[in-house]
Every structure is written in structure tokens, then in C-alpha cells.
Amino acid sequence: MAIKKIASGWQVDIQPEGRGGRRIRKTFPTKRQAEQFDTEQKAKANAGEWTPPLKDKRRLADLINTWYELHGYTLKDCDNRLRVLNGLCSRLGNPIAKNFTSEDWLKYRKERLTQKLERREKLVEPNTINHEQAYLSAVFGRLIKLKNWPFDNPLKGVSKLIIDEPDLVYLEKDQIKSLLAALSESKNTDVLVISKICLSTGARWGEAESLRGEQVKQGKIHFTKTKNSKVRAVPISAELEREVLTGRPRFGRLFTGSSHQAFQRAIERARIQLPDGQMTHVLRHTFASHYMINDGNILKLKDILGHQTLTMTLRYAKLAPRHLADAVHKNPLATLYCQQSVNRDVENHV
């Protein structure tokens, strides 16, 4: 019998090349996977393309370590990514990598959606699981490119969870005024200036907080070592340039220590409610949103923010004053009322 049920699952026991050929035994967790393997091996044998399955006993943790040593360490977020991958590997039970399938992932994903974050009552977000999938798929994909993994990527073709686009959160003008007032009361001498840099340039908090004196010159802030490794220069007012440089070194770090907690306390004093994960980043959204509200150019905004693709910037396009404005005049009610008005004018004329 080619496929039979055993204690550990479903065992495939075949000789694809016929009697006298090499015998293959392999166990799968489901009958469907066993049948699929059986069909694939026989099809390859009939086409004269069959080769004995490769032996690779490496476990998922071995692949993650190999990926990190060969490539992962070069990434800017390497430490965080390795932490996520190791946690994911542990939850999966560190399976033999060759036996890990897309079905295994889908089962894990379903279970993961019902889990709660450690030390918190909140359920794991679908976006978190999508990141896990992307990171794990990248491990297989990179090792395949490096010819270190001779099999397919088990997550290839697996769609990510569909997530509703979140609301675009940004500060209105009155909220900006309240925040600036709260920041000016802070004992932290840097938090107000760092916030003004973010509001004036769309910089990420980390980019502004780590600025060096030599990066502020000739009416521009030159951002280096950015998230996507691209250098960009954004113009600022003479007033802001003076405020940034006054009393601070012209070379080396402009701001010492971390100002994140000081910003958070200012947000609380200003009584501004923000979604999770939108603390300092709301300043970047606020810059981009008001830039488009003031009829800015979407292509220039892409360069200012340092986005790699226009798709990342287009979320702000809907705030432009003329965005979809013709919907007011081209909807059926508007054209109906317009026609009725024309008819009345004709009748009155007659």
C-alpha cells in the first residue's frame, strides 16, 4: 500500500521508478499532504525527472541562525527581526524545516489570532502575524537565493491576512497649539525643538532626536542613516534653524539622552488621545497631512518623507482640497437638479 495511517501520521511508502528502484518512505501529518507527495513523485518518475528526495535534517532554528549569519545581520532592524523569528520558531515547536508546510503555517496563524500578547490583555494583531509571515518567508527566500536551501519556500503563495486600512490620525491646528504649549512647559530642554523639527520636516522621531550639528546647514536639515538608508535634505525656516543651533554644538549630537517620555507626558497634559503605536509618529503624519491640505505636491511629499515608493505616500492624497472634488458636481443628484433647473429656465423663457 502506497499510503497508510501510522501512529505519527500518514506514511508514504513508494518506489517511483518501479520494482528494483529506490524505496521512499515519508510521513506527513495529513492524508492530503501524503497523497500530494505521492502524486508528485510518480508524475516526476513518469516524466523521467525524478531524483531521490534530498536529506536535510536542519530544524527551523538552524535555518534562522544560518540566515542571520549570512544575511540578517546586515539589516537595520536585525535584532528585532531575530527576536521575532526566534519567538515564532519557539511557538511552532522548532520543526524540521523540510517538513514545514503552508498548512502548518495556516494552522499556526489561526491559533495565533486567538492568543493574547504577553503581559497584556490585548489579542495579537493581524498585522503582527503578517509581519511574522513576511519575516519567515524572507528567511526561506534568502537562503534559496544563496543556494543554501534546496527546497521550495513553504510560504510562497500564501496570502497575508486582509487588514482594514487604519484611519489617518493627525493633529488639527488647535491640537498643535495645545501640544506646543505643553511641550514648552517640559523640564526636558530638547523635546520642544525635536517636535518642531518633526512638524516642520516630516522627520521620524529617531531621525530628529539623533541629529548632529553638521547636518543642519544652509537652511536645510540633511537626514542621514534613515530607515531606508537614503539621504534627504529638507528646507527649514531661518527661525527654526536658529532655534535648533542656539546653545547647541555645531558638531556632534545636538540632543542628549531620550526625549520620548517627555513627549508622552506633554501629550497627556495636552489631553490628546492617540491610538496605540501613534505616539511620536503622529508628528510625521501631521506634517504630511497638513502639507496636502495646503495643496502640496504629492511627488514632492514623497521626496520630503523619503518614501521608497509613491504608494506609501498616496494615503495622504485624499486630504488635498481638490481630491475627488468633482464628485460634488458629477453625482446623479447634482446632474438631476441641474437638469431640472435648466428645464425651469426654458419654461420661464417660453
Q: Which residues are catalytic?
A: 204, 227, 281, 284, 307, 316
DSSP 8-state symbol, 5: E
Q: What is the DSSP letter of 124?
A: P
Residue 338 C-alpha from the chain's centroid: 46
Strand partners, 123: 116
Rg (CA), the chain: 29
**Rounded-to-integer distance, Cα 268 and Cα 246, Å:** 28
Are 104 and 98 in contact, with CB atoms under 8 Å apart? Answer: no
Cβ atoms 196, 286 nearer than 8 A:
no
Using CA atoms, how far apart are residues 1 and 190, in angstroms rounded to an integer? 75
How many residues are there in the chain? Answer: 350
* Residue 213 contacts residue 251 (beta carbons within 8 Å): yes
Residue 40's alpha-carbon distances to 34, 75, 104, 181, in angstroms, are: 10, 37, 19, 68
Virtual torsion, Cα 110, 116, 122, 125, nearest 10 deg: -40
Give the H or E element holding residue 338.
Answer: helix 332-349
* Category of 218 on φ-ψ map: left (φ > 0), alpha (ψ -120 to 50) or beta: left
CA nearest 199: which of 300, 320, 286, 298?
286
